[in-house]
Structure 1
Amino acid sequence: MECPCYGKAGCRKKSLLSPSSPARSPTSASASAILFRPLSRYGLWAALIISLTYFVIGTALVPRLWADPLGPMLKIWPVLMLNLVAMAIREDR
């Protein structure tokens, strides 16, 4: 439900479903699909594609992220590996 003054100067209220809301992000959709067993295969593939897209676009547009002390680009590799492990053991769970 939108705030009637949403977007006006001085309004501090935000909609729960604003465009920047995490509830609308593709990562939350893939995470929800992973939790629901019949859709877990599609959710894992979506998570893999989203991570690889983040890696490629991040490297192309902002290569200095590789030198960042917090390592935002380095954090992708463990996520990708865990995603591949989850894909491999999906049938056994």
Structure 2
Amino acid sequence: MITDKELEELKAIQTALGISDEDAAKMAVKSAIKSALADGKVTDDEKVMIVNAAEGLSKAKKNKLTKALESGEITEEVEKILKSLDD
């Protein structure tokens, strides 16, 4: 958890770099995906971001992804789905 002061500092950095809120959100999702692929573990916050990013997927792919995130088992197929979200 970050403090209000830390959030203000991050927002100032974001503004200085010219990063929109939408781009910052995309970066957060990409970071969550990369973290999941790197260590095979997904925090609750990462899971929420990834599932939200998966809204445009087919029902079958979204179900596979959700089950994998809940079980912690990232198969090769799920890895491909995650990578497709990172594009």
- Mark yes or no: TM-score above 0.5: no
Q: Which bin holds the TM-score, normalised by the shorter protein?
A: 0.3 to 0.5
TM-score by length of 1: 0.35
- Which has a greater percent of helix? 2
TM-score relative to the length of structure 2? 0.36
Greater RCO between the two (CA within 8 Å, min separation 6)?
2
